[in-house]
Structure 1
Amino acid sequence: MNIADVVNGLALGIVQGISEWLPISSKTQIMITSIYALHLTFNQAYALGLFLEVGTVLAALIYFRREVWGILKALVLRGSAYDYMMLKYVIIITVLTGLVGVPLYLTVAESVKGIGIGLPMIILGLILIADALLIYISRLRYVPRKRLNELKTWELVLIGAVQGIAALPGVSRSGVTVSTMLLLGLNPEDSFRLSFISMIPAAVGASIVPALFTRHLFHTLISDVNMNVILVSIVVAALVSLVLIDALLRFARSRHIILLTATLGTLAIVSGVLSILTGFG
């Protein structure tokens, strides 16, 4: 492993570990980074952006190990009422994410050229800022207070479908799910926590789909990118993710949720504008 591999791996891992949890589309950020740093094609960079989610999945499994263990217990009929609710949530979200996300991936994997990538991030940023304004304007009368057990089945279906749309370049999975949950009235901490947990099966699928359905892109990616770079990226992404998950959840349970949501919205808009200005939008 040479210095260039380490530097490229660090860069990709840091970008993945940060952007996965912020509303700036990790796929887009990895595409931009890998095209410039590794000279990949748009299609290869898109596949790499999905594949590197392995690192963030590892971090989520470690951080949410209690919730994951509860879901596993519910599968064998030994969990608590909350565990069964989590199991229902994960199953519905995952099924809808697959039904929506896989066809979208197969549609764009061969044709993505960078056009329109920045626009979804700008729209998402505006939605997040609208969330913040809604909470601020009506704070005395309305604060999102719903818990998981109060979400209706159709609301879970909606969240899963919205997460599936995040298969498109430029659409942030965490951004669209968190903003949807807040608009549905779910409390901020649960919105972030449930969004991060639903990422686990979605990201596992996102890592597998490129290898199963677009094998030629996967093979050319492996042949053009040193595996040392990918391994370093996965480890770094996992470590960075652990720090960021904890920080975001601390903010979500504090009184600074308006500031956090508005800041995330602003980041999404800035990222979208930069993508357009640099030719990726």
Structure 2
Amino acid sequence: MDLLEAIILGLIQGLTEFLPVSSSGHLELAKFIMGDSALPEESLTYTVVLHFATALSTLLIFRKEVIQVFRGLFQGKINQEFMFSLKIMISMLPAVCVGLVFEEVLASFFGGKILLVGLMLLITSVLLLLADRSKTTSKDVSMFGALVIGLSQAIAMLPGISRSGATISTSVLLGVDRNKAAKFSFLMVVPLILGKIAKDILGGDIHFSSEEIIPMGAGFIAAFIAGLMACQWMIALVKKSRLIYFSVYCSVVGLVAVGFTIFT
């Protein structure tokens, strides 16, 4: 993996982690276009580095909300902060269970499954269209809502299903305020990313040589900066009900991916 490939993949991860177009799906498409050599044996390590970069950008933007979550967990009082923290924990359960039980099955969906990516992008497009047309309300995320949103996050482990798109769309369809839906969507994934990183490190799956430090560092910086911009942009777009643009985009990319697979 050369420096340019590392930066391109970093930008893709940083932008698509927050924009509702599926980061995993776009990384699969990018690797397919650039060839399997784009991410050879260090694929897992580089993926972890990119996810860590986007997790840090989320922590920076939502630092006040993150502090609120930790206060709620450790202050020992049943108040608004504790309830918000509890909702975050509940939303994580489906993805944790699916990830632990079906880890090998999920892994089989990656690695050049372009038809699957295309079909899942079309599903993402429909979800975004439904959310874009839903009514604006001022409701907060409920306990039951947190579980349902968590289920949508678990489904979004498939490449091509946008995690942010699925969780934000589910929240909006449940009647949650759009701004609260976006913040909850971005916050609920941070513990999962950090937990996955810790699991891979402790499992001994992370390894790289000294010559890979510069490309990985460049990719990390690209993903971090792109993530900062995309996260703030996405919040503004959700407030203004502009999800239709991403719905159209996912439709086009999905149809191209499906068409390419069928006719080549």
TM bracket (short chain): 0.7 to 0.9
- Structure 2: which amino acid aligns with 1:58? L
The answer to whether residue 117 in structure 2 is matched with residue 117 in structure 1 is yes
Q: Which residue of 2 aligns with 1:272?
A: 254
1:65-80 equivalence runs, <5 A: 65-77=63-75
Match of 1:91, SS? helix
Change (3 A) 1:47 1:109: farther
**One of 145, 152, 157 as aligned partner of 2:138:** 145
Gaps in structure 2 of 5+ consecutive residues: none
**One of 254, 262, 279 as aligned partner of 2:244:** 262
Q: Please say if residues 53 and 221 of structure 2, whose CA atoms lie closer than 8 Å, have aligned partners that are also in contact.
A: yes
- Structure 2: which amino acid aligns with 1:71? V
- Pairwise CA distance, 1:82: 3.0
- Pairwise CA distance, 1:102: 3.3
Q: Which residue of 1 aligns with 2:128?
A: 128
Match of 1:270, SS? helix
Identity over aligned pairs, percent: 22
Q: Please say if residues 21 and 160 of structure 2, whose CA atoms lie closer than 8 Å, have aligned partners that are also in contact.
A: yes
Q: Please say if residues 31 and 45 of structure 1, whose CA atoms lie closer than 8 Å, have aligned partners that are also in contact.
A: no
- Pairwise CA distance, 1:212: 6.1
1:139-218 equivalence runs, <5 A: 143-148=136-141, 151=142, 153-209=143-199, 215=205
**One of 213, 226, 241 as aligned partner of 1:227:** 213
> Normalising by the residue count of structure 2, what TM-score does the alignment of the two structures yield?
0.84
* CA–CA separation in structure 2 for the residues paired with 1:144 and 1:42: 47
Calculate the aligned-residue CA RMSD, in Å: 3.0
Q: Please say if residues 20 and 164 of structure 2, whose CA atoms lie closer than 8 Å, have aligned partners that are also in contact.
A: yes
> Which aligned segments of 4 or more residues in structure 1 are displaced greater than 6 angstroms?
41-44
Change (3 A) 1:227 1:34: farther
The answer to whether residue 224 in structure 2 is matched with residue 238 in structure 1 is yes
1:7-156 equivalence runs, <5 A: 7-35=4-32, 36=34, 39-40=37-38, 48-49=46-47, 52-77=50-75, 81-110=79-108, 112-113=110-111, 114=113, 115-135=115-135, 143-148=136-141, 151=142, 153-156=143-146
> Normalising by the residue count of structure 1, what TM-score does the alignment of the two structures yield?
0.80
Q: Please say if residues 31 and 49 of structure 1, whose CA atoms lie closer than 8 Å, have aligned partners that are also in contact.
A: no
Change (3 A) 1:208 1:122: farther
Change (3 A) 1:42 1:237: same
* CA–CA separation in structure 2 for the residues paired with 1:129 and 1:231: 37
- Pairwise CA distance, 1:278: 4.5
* CA–CA separation in structure 2 for the residues paired with 1:46 and 1:183: 34
* CA–CA separation in structure 1 for the residues paired with 2:25 and 2:200: 16
Q: Please say if residues 106 and 157 of structure 2, whose CA atoms lie closer than 8 Å, have aligned partners that are also in contact.
A: no
- Pairwise CA distance, 1:177: 0.4
For residues 150-204 of structure 1, give each alpha carbon's deviation from its aligned partner in whole angstroms, at most 9, with x where no partner exists.
Answer: x1x2221111122112222222110110111011110111111110111211222
* CA–CA separation in structure 1 for the residues paired with 2:133 and 2:191: 32
Match of 1:117, SS? helix
Gaps in structure 1 of 5+ consecutive residues: 136-142
Q: Please say if residues 11 and 226 of structure 2, whose CA atoms lie closer than 8 Å, have aligned partners that are also in contact.
A: yes
For residues 226-277 of structure 1, give each alpha carbon's deviation from its aligned partner in whole angstroms, at most 9, with x where no partner exists.
Answer: 3322221122111111112112222333xx31xx121121222223223334
Change (3 A) 1:134 1:161: closer
Q: Which residue of 2 aligns with 1:247?
A: 233
For residues 24-50 of structure 1, give each alpha carbon's deviation from its aligned partner in whole angstroms, at most 9, with x where no partner exists.
Answer: 211121223234166157997578546
Q: Please say if residues 25 and 117 of structure 2, whose CA atoms lie closer than 8 Å, have aligned partners that are also in contact.
A: yes
Q: How many pairs align?
A: 259
Q: Please say if residues 28 and 49 of structure 1, whose CA atoms lie closer than 8 Å, have aligned partners that are also in contact.
A: no
* CA–CA separation in structure 2 for the residues paired with 1:14 and 1:196: 18
* CA–CA separation in structure 2 for the residues paired with 1:32 and 1:67: 33
Match of 1:39, SS? helix
Change (3 A) 1:269 1:103: farther
